[in-house]
Amino acid sequence: MPRFSFVIVFLSLLRLAVAAEGPMDASESDPNALGWMQGSPPPADKLIGQPDSNYFSFPKLRWTVCHFRELLPTKVMSRGLGAPVAFERAPDPAIDELTFTPLGGDAPMTWEASLAANYTDGIVILHKGRIVYERYFGCLDEAGKHGAMSMTKSLTGLLAEILVVEGELDETARVATIVPELADSAFGNATVREVMDMTTALDFSEDYNNPEADIWIYNAAANPLPKPADYDGPRSYFEYLPSVRQAGEHGEAFGYKTVNTDVLGWIVARTTGQSLADSLSGRVWSRIGAEQDGYFTVDSIGTPFAGGGLSAGLRDMARIGQLMLDEGVSHGERLFPADVVNNIRAGGDRTAFAKAGYDTLPGGSYRSMWWVFHNDHGAFAARGVHGQTVYVDPEAEMVIARFASHPAAKNAVIDPTSLPAYQAVAEYLLGRE
C-alpha cells in the first residue's frame, strides 16, 4: 500500500510528537515574528501549503492551526441566521498573578507564565457565564478560527449521547445493525456504547514513528486531495473503516483510537440522515448564540472528519463548555435533556481506563468522548492534541476554553502545567464569591 510522500493529511495531528526545528519558545516561534505567509506574495521560504509536506511540523504548525481551510477542503457547520448572543464581561486582571506548582515540580509558576509555557494561541475563562479573562496570541485573534483537533470527538460524542437519551439511538445495539457495511469489521459486533467510550478492541496502530502503521493507510484513505496514479487503496473514511480488525475482547480496556470516532460519526449520520456537520449545526451550534460558523475538513467524498476536523472560534468553544455546565440549557432554552450531561459527568469504566496508563489522569475515565477527571470539583473536559481544551468545573461554575500550538502533541507533556493552573483559577474564583 503506497503512502503519500508529498502531503501530511489532517490525521497526522494525532502523532505522538512533532519534531521541533530548534529550541524555540512561544515568543520565538510566533508565526507573526517568523513571517509565515506574509507579503503579496510571501517569499518562497515563508510559504506554507500544498504540496508542502511539512505544514504541520513545528514551528509551521503555529500558523497552520488557524488556516486549515486554506490547505484542505472543508464543510461549513452553520451558526444559523440569528444574531450572536454576546457574553457579559467582568474582567479580573488578578488572574494573571495566580500561582501554582506544576505536577512533579517544586517551583511556583504564575498563570500568565503558563500561557507562554503551553504555547497558548487563545484562552478565555467564564465564571457564572461571564467572561472574566480573555487573551490571544500568535495566529489567533477574536475573529479567527483555530483547529479544535480531538475536541471534535467530544462534539461527536455529545451528539451521540443526545440521540441516546432522546431515544433515537440504542447504546446497546451492535454497530452492524445500524451500519451493515461494518458487519465484518472489528466494529460490527461492538456495541454503540463501546464505540462511544472507546472500549473497542482494535488491531489498529497509531504509531506515527512506524511507517507501516495502520494510521498511514488511514491517512491515505482520508486524504481529500488527488491520489497518485498508482494508488489502489481506500479513498474515504467509509471505504477504510470496514477493514479494521479486532484484537481482544470489546469492553475490557480503554484504547484511544481515532477510528472509533469516525465510526461514531457514521452511526450518527446513518441515524439522523444528515452529515455530522449539519446535525451538530441544527441541534447545537445554531442554538447557542454562536458568533461564527465552524467548519470541518472532509475526505474525498465530503465526509466530515468526526475525529478531529473542526475549526471554530474560541468564544464559541467556550459556549459549548457553558452549555455543558448548564446541563443543556442555553440562554433560557433547553437544547437537550440534562441527563445527557449527567451521563457524561458520571464517567465511564474507570478500571478499563486505568489499563491505558494515563499518568497525568489518575482515577480518570472517558465517557461519550469526554475526559472525566473525577476530582473534587467534578471537572470534565474536551481535549485535543497540542493543547486544545474546553475544561468544565461545575463546582467553581467555571469554563476554560484554550487553543494552543504546543510543539508536543501529547497532552501528557502539557498537563503538568495546565491542570494545576486550571485548578488554581477554580479555587480563586470559588474564594472570590
Q: Which of 29, 57, 150, 311 is catalytic?
A: 150
Which domains are seen in the chain, by residue range? Answer: 125-432 (3.40.710.10)
pLDDT of residue 3: 42
pLDDT of residue 51: 66
CA distance 103 to 315: 28
pLDDT of residue 7: 34
pLDDT of residue 208: 67
pLDDT of residue 287: 98
pLDDT of residue 219: 85
pLDDT of residue 23: 58
Q: For the chain, list residues with pLDDT below 50.
A: 1-22
Q: What is the pLDDT of residues 323-370, one digit of tens each?
A: 999 999 999 999 999 999 999 999 999 999 999 999 999 999 999 999
Which residues, at least 6 apart from 82, have a Cβ–Cβ distance to it below 8 Å? 286, 289
pLDDT of residue 200: 98
pTM score, two decimals?
A: 0.94
pLDDT of residue 15: 41
Please say if 330 is a catalytic residue: no
Strands 120-127, 370-372: pairing is unpaired
Nearest 5°: phi and psi at 392? -115, 120
Q: What is the pLDDT of residues 195-242, one digit of tens each?
A: 999 999 999 998 766 878 898 889 889 999 888 899 999 999 999 999
pLDDT of residue 52: 62
For residue 379, give Cα distances in angstroms to 173, 286, 346, 372. 29, 26, 10, 6
